[in-house]
Amino acid sequence: MSPQTAFALPATVNGAERLDTSFAGTGKTQVYFAGSLSSMANDIAIDHVGRLLVAAKVGTPGGQRFGLARLLADGSADLAFGKQGSISGQFVHGFEAMAGKVRVLADGHILVAGLHYENAHRTLPALAMFDQQGFPAQGFGDNGRCVVRLPGDLSQGARDAWLPHGVPGAEACDVCVQDDGRILLLANHYFEPTDHVGMLIRLNADGSLDSSFNGRGFVMVRHLLMNTWLSSLKVQRDGRILVSGSINFPEEGLLARYHPDGRLDDSFAMDGFMTFKAREYSAQICQIVQHENGDLHCFGSSRDPMHCLSLKVHSNGRPDTHCNGGQPKLFGAGRKGCHWTAAEAQPDGRVLTVGATDGGGEADFILARYLPSGQLDRSFGKGIGWCRTRLSRGSHTATSLAIQADGCIVIGGYSLEGNCRAVVARYQC
């Protein structure tokens, strides 16, 4: 077996052994959205007083809506927020929507990023901002909501209505708020099914397009005229901007870096772009973590088959040859594959990452911890560095995680037992 690949099929860990039962009584809770038929938690964040914010895609009798819920630190609904602890809405009246990310701003306001469904086939990136009580933030967009339209429909993407639950699809969404309040976000524009390109966009704090960014408010992320698809972005401590996803077909992993003004940073990797293959497999990145020394730790998945993927990269964009020879590291869990969806650095520099196994009723949460060196932390997960949690019958997909002030790990996702329902679980410190 190649040293860069490791596959294991441990017995599923019983949730009661890993979950913090002081959280909602069982270690997990469903997230309630008033009037919903279904819900999928896509992101989770912690506000300044320890409350949990959950961004979701919510199904209602009138179609899909974006959802934002707030839980108290113990997992109970914060009934002082929105309607019985949650908000479901549209970016534009009469159109469907979804929420993919949530961020807490320095002033306590809450920013939700998602997709406005223009029609049955097309999407546009969209934002909504709320105050701490759940009311629309005046002064941002149109009554607190903003749909981002670029010239030439370049922010228009494809609606993903066919992929099964748990499989990364076309509806990518990410957002970062800079220290000065300006907002960076992603879009993926489809000229046609075989010609698509990622867009990096910057808005002013009021939601208007920031024309000082690359002279027009956006950057078309394209390398050698190949297809690109963006899934995540990160602002480095020095202000430079990283974007990641995939490039070409079959897919290769992609990293690119830009200066704060939108110019490509050609000192990064090869002329600003770093691409890689995972042996004979396709690859994509879903999350980047930056260590204190500037090194980057990338997480995502291979394709065909789908396995969890990690890659350690130096701050200059060159692979770290001391970690797996500079090659992506893969491992498999479950009979039909697995993938990472989110990652977060702990204060001590170790990195937590979360994802799911794939395959109907066998889809479970998986949680791992990596050392700053890029290797799995064998002191975690009963000596193998990771664990798999069966929450209950049915399939469960983890999409996001956050670390509470006491070190406990909070994971957002969804369960599929009949209807899809948003869930939050907490693991012991």
Of all helices (H) and strands (E), which one includes residue 177? Answer: strand 175-177
**Using one digit for the tens of pLDDT, what is the confidence trace for 50-106?**
999 999 999 999 999 999 999 999 999 999 999 999 999 999 999 999 999 999 999
Reported confidence tier of residue 166, pLDDT bands at 50, 70, 90? very low
Number of separate domains in the chain: 1
Q: Is residue 372 part of a domain?
A: yes
- Rounded to whole angstroms, the Cα distance separating 223 from 231 reads 16
Closest Cα partner for 112 from 165, 173, 52? Answer: 173
Q: Is residue 270 part of a domain?
A: yes
Reported confidence tier of residue 382, pLDDT bands at 50, 70, 90? confident
DSSP 8-state symbol, 382: I
- Rounded to whole angstroms, the Cα distance separating 285 from 253 reads 6
- Rounded to whole angstroms, the Cα distance separating 78 from 71 reads 5
- Rounded to whole angstroms, the Cα distance separating 57 from 34 reads 13
- Phi, psi (5° rounding) for residue 325? 65, 20
CB burial string 169-201: b at 16+ within 10 A, e below: ebbbbbbbbeeeebbbbbbbbbeeeeebbbbbb
- Rounded to whole angstroms, the Cα distance separating 97 from 89 reads 8
- Rounded to whole angstroms, the Cα distance separating 215 from 263 reads 10
Q: Which residues constitute the domain of residue 318? A: 9-31+149-427
Reported confidence tier of residue 158, pLDDT bands at 50, 70, 90? confident
In CATH, what number is assigned to the domain containing residue 291? 2.120.10
Cβ neighbourhood burial of 305 (10 Å; 0-12, 13-18, 19+): middle
- Rounded to whole angstroms, the Cα distance separating 197 from 225 reads 9
Contact 218, 201 (CB under 8 A): yes
- Rounded to whole angstroms, the Cα distance separating 66 from 96 reads 8
Contact 212, 223 (CB under 8 A): no
Contacts of 181 (CB under 8 A, 6+ apart): 105, 204, 205
- Rounded to whole angstroms, the Cα distance separating 78 from 198 reads 37
DSSP 8-state symbol, 369: E
- Of the chain, the end-to-end C-alpha distance in Å amounts to 34
DSSP 8-state symbol, 140: S
Q: Is residue 72 part of a domain?
A: no
Q: Is residue 244 part of a domain?
A: yes
CB burial string 355-391: b at 16+ within 10 A, e below: bbbbbeeebbbbbbbbbbbbebbeebbeeebbbbbbb
Q: Is residue 250 part of a domain?
A: yes
What's the confidence (pLDDT) of residue 393?
Answer: 77
Q: Is residue 119 part of a domain?
A: no
Q: Side-chain half-sphere of 205: how many Cα atoms within 13 Å?
A: 11
DSSP 8-state symbol, 222: -
Q: Is residue 316 part of a domain?
A: yes
**Using one digit for the tens of pLDDT, what is the confidence trace for 114-147?**
999 999 989 999 999 999 999 999 999 999 999 9
pLDDT, mean over the chain:
90
- Express as a percent the part of the chain with pLDDT over 70: 93
More confident of the two residues 241 and 159: 241
What's the confidence (pLDDT) of residue 359?
Answer: 64
What's the confidence (pLDDT) of residue 10?
Answer: 43
Q: Is residue 112 part of a domain?
A: no
Give the pTM. 0.93
DSSP, collapsed to helix, strand or coil, labels residue 360 as: helix
pLDDT at 320 over 50: yes
pLDDT at 245 over 60: yes
